[in-house]
Amino acid sequence: MSQQKPEPTEGAPEPEDTTAAAAGTTASSTPAPPAPAGPSEPVVAVAETDDDATELEEGDAYVLPAGSVVAAGPSLLARLGAEAFGTFLLVLVGLGVALYSAFSNTGGGLGVALGFGIAVLAGIIAVGRVSGGHFNPAVTFGACLAGRTSFKDLLPYWLAQVVGGALAAAVLFLTVPAALPGLVSQGAQTSTRTFFSSVANGYADHSPLATLSGGQAEFSLVVALLVEAVATAVFVGVILGATDRRANKQHVPFAVGLALAVLLLVATPVTNGSLNPARSLAAAIFSDGWALSQVWLFWVAPLLGAAIAALVYRAFAAEPPEDSLFGEDELYVAEEDVLVVER
């Protein structure tokens, strides 16, 4: 005997869809990510909090569909710490070797150049994957112009680099033995600042050539600017080429370190070799007053050289603008839809 399905009485509630209810229960405990939206339709995401779900403003979040290439890089704070550390290492080793080269068997100018080169090589290997391993305001500026680093990171990177370099110079300045400046000057009254001035960058009567020749020969402001700009342009060009996504990244630290060492051998007789505004400012802070009065050139010339290298690279050898120096953004292919929340 077949059973008739009872007719619902008038006014009685409709039977609930258990499938929908179950789905609703699941959704309330673990909200599904919003569906991908087109460029003209910003996603409104829901963020879980301890109290209740809070709706984010439009534009705060968006969804990347499965199969997208996703960049998951370190935080800005981590990158700034890496830049400060790398610049600290570079200045500590480079200026330290230069300060004490007269008392150690480091080969004079060659030893100083190798000191800077090896320091930047070690820094890139150690923390290059975190921040890009710039350690130099000119490199950061060139990377921004080349589309390899965001301009919003420019000033924070510069600040981190200047702070790291200044701290390294402070360590060297505070640890100079009190009697050492007098020994270097063969008994003459010499302050620690004057002793530290030997590693500062300068031109005209403060160029190394003027010191060695007793003032009979010197490199002028124009020559110093030209040498620093050209050397920095070559240096930044090497970095942009070596870190191109199409290049072999295994040899990047060695290419950058050797390029810096060779270029410093060229620039050192002219200006004491800068190519790095953070290095120049760090030395000038603890040197005699002339160093700070001339340090502007060692910002202008390297930044000019970096701009030339970046614009030439972008015109003739540019790669996708989302590429980055030394791969500080680890890339992977998303297997599922990825909700990206702007913080």
The pLDDT tens digits for 326-342 are: 444 455 566 676 666 55
Q: What is the pLDDT of residue 320?
A: 55
On whether the CB atoms of residues 284 and 120 are closer than 8 A, the answer is no
Q: What is the pLDDT of residue 19?
A: 45
* pLDDT tens digit sequence for 173-220: 999 988 887 777 665 667 889 999 999 999 999 988 887 777 777 889
pLDDT of residue 60 exceeding 70:
no
Distances (CA, A) of 108 to 97, 111, 331: 9, 5, 43
Q: pTM of the predicted model, to two decimals?
A: 0.74
pLDDT of residue 3 exceeding 80:
no
Q: What is the pLDDT of residue 63?
A: 72
Strand duo 338-341 + 46-47: pairing:
unpaired
Q: Regarding predicted confidence, which is higher, 245 or 83?
A: 83
Structure tokens at 184: 């270097």
Structure tokens at 150: 């965001």
HEC profile for 267-327?
A: HHHHHCCCCCHHHHHHHHHCCCHHHHHHCCHHHHHHHHHHHHHHHHHHHHCCCCCCCCHHH
Q: How far apart are CA 205 and CA 202, in angstroms?
A: 8
CA 11 vs. chain centroid, Å, equals 71
Mean pLDDT of all residues belonging to the chain: 80
* pLDDT tens digit sequence for 262-316: 999 999 999 999 999 999 999 999 999 999 999 999 999 999 999 999 999 998 8
Mean pLDDT across 254-266: 97
Q: How far apart are CA 200 and CA 285, in angstroms?
A: 9
Helices (H) and strands (E) in the chain, counts: 13, 6
Q: What is the pLDDT of residue 98?
A: 92
Q: How far apart are CA 153 and CA 134, in angstroms?
A: 12
Q: What is the pLDDT of residue 190?
A: 79
DSSP assignment, residue 43? B
What are the strands, taking DSSP E only, across the chain? Answer: 46-47, 54-55, 61-64, 69-72, 330-333, 338-341
Q: How far apart are CA 212 and CA 168, in angstroms?
A: 27
Q: What is the pLDDT of residue 45?
A: 35
On whether the CB atoms of residues 90 and 135 are closer than 8 A, the answer is yes
Mean pLDDT across 73-83: 93
Mean pLDDT across 112-128: 96
Q: Regarding predicted confidence, which is higher, 68 or 119?
A: 119
Residues near 194 by Cβ (< 8 Å), separated by ≥ 6? Answer: 181, 185, 287, 288
Domains and CATH numbers, the chain: 33-70+332-343 (no CATH), 74-327 (1.20.1080.10)
Mean pLDDT across 22-39: 44
**Which of 256, 272, 150 has its CA nearest to residue 209?**
272
Query: Confidence class of residue 28 from pLDDT cuts 50, 70 and 90?
Result: very low
Mean pLDDT across 75-79: 94
**50-59 burial, b for 16+ CB within 10 Å, e for fewer?**
eeeeeeeeee
Q: How far apart are CA 125 and CA 122, in angstroms?
A: 5
What are the strands, taking DSSP E only, across 11-145? Answer: 46-47, 54-55, 61-64, 69-72
